[in-house]
Amino acid sequence: MISLTIERLTKCFGETVALRAIDLRIEAGEIFFLLGPSGCGKTTLLRSLAGFYLPEEGRILFGDDDVTRVPPHLRNTGMMFQSYALWPHLTVAKNVAFGLEERRVPAPEIAQRVRQALDSVKMGAFGERKINQLSGGQQQRVALARALVIRPRCLLLDEPLSNLDTKLRLEMRAEIRRVCKESQLTAIYVTHDQKEALSIADRLAIMEGGHIRQVGKPAEVYRSPHSRFVADFMGETNFLEGRVANVSNGRVLVETALRTFEATIGGQDWKPQPGDAATLSIRPESWKLGAAATAPNALTGRLGERVYLGEMAQYQFATGKHTLKIFELNPRYVELSPDRELHASVEPEDAVALPG
């Protein structure tokens, strides 16, 4: 296991600045996700770690080794691509052995390591199969075995599950995490899929426009975003614009067109003052329907459009001139008449006040 340190990394393509003085530390044995919309710089950063791109400025350290100018084949990283990049004319075992043969590893050791790698991804019985005889999920396991067999210093994954159907994606999420932890690998994983990141990552970084906007554990970033961009990117949320009325003991009162909400202060290094513009971010699942009128941050409204999903229902909650999105687990109000008034409330720790 090794740690990775990125210091002031800048990468340009002509006039376009893809990475802007990135600083990041990835601990040994971490599964670390780079997450963000298309064009944010996450793949550029991954390919810089692999050595495919040379930065204009900054350094990349693997442990204590400066690898900024080291060519890709000498960095000893394992790479999984969005396309499987498997050789269709070779068997599964030959595909996995390819990197070892290029490194001139002795044949007996190759056979042993290929066997171990295939066993680790539960493909030990498929060594003699051709690639076109495998399902998409099986091909993805072979690609993972090929990356592992060289015993890389770190594993780099570039949207490896994007070509799989929903069921296989869920299965492979768990498999990738299991294999990385059992192999004690430091892994850096690029995706734009929030659920993928939340379910696998030890920590993650949200990127936008070549910058890192927030780093933290999945639950921390989801529940305590530092900005409107992060809150919006990490899942559905309700935004309410307002102004700070009062600040006390880490809580803030925000006046909005609906009511004055008591909320938790979000935003990195933001110190709100009375009169400051503020934006409230309240996740749809944070609302409690059927609450008493005296409950914290309670609103009165009616249920409009609704989508029933079995374990959950999604509602449009009309209150005043506004409509909020509310999710209810184990739904009880799906059949409620649109004419019936209902209270909805949210706890102060679930309402996050961000700079306006």
C-alpha 240/C-alpha 262 separation (Å) is: 13
Local structure of 182: helix, strand or coil: helix
As given in the structure block, the two tokens for residue 79 are 């790479």
CA distances from 101 to 87, 96, 183 (A): 14, 10, 21
Contact 140, 160 (CB under 8 A): yes
What does the chain come to in residues?
356
For residue 232, give the nearest of 252, 256, 206 by alpha carbon: 206
Instruction: Give yes or no for residue 323 having a pLDDT over 80.
Output: yes
pLDDT value for 210:
96
pLDDT value for 172:
82
Q: Give the DSSP letter of residue 91.
A: B
For the residues 30-47, what does the mean pLDDT come to? Answer: 95
Residues 237, 240, 245, 247: what is their CA dihedral angle, to the nearest 10 degrees? 10
CATH number of 4-224: 3.40.50.300
Q: What amino acid occupies position 111?
A: A
Contact 86, 131 (CB under 8 A): yes
* Confidence band for 65, pLDDT divided at 50, 70 and 90: very high
For residue 33, give the nearest of 223, 234, 169, 228 by alpha carbon: 234
**Residue 203 backbone dihedrals phi, psi, to 5 degrees:** -145, 165
Percentage with pLDDT > 70 across the chain = 100
Instruction: Give the model confidence (pLDDT) of 43-58 as tens digits.
Output: 999 999 999 999 999 9
Instruction: Give the model confidence (pLDDT) of 125-156 as tens digits.
Output: 999 999 988 888 888 889 888 888 888 989 99
- Per residue in 47-69, is it b (16+ CB within 10 Å) or e — as a string? bbbbbebebeebebbbeeeebbe
The domain limits of the chain are 4-224, 229-355
pLDDT value for 162:
80
* Confidence band for 168, pLDDT divided at 50, 70 and 90: confident
As given in the structure block, the two tokens for residue 266 are 């979000």
Instruction: Give yes or no for residue 1 having a pLDDT over 90.
Output: no
pLDDT value for 208:
96
CA distances from 38 to 16, 41, 48, 214, 324 (A): 15, 8, 17, 17, 28
Fold of 229-355: OB fold (Dihydrolipoamide Acetyltransferase, E2P) (2.40.50)
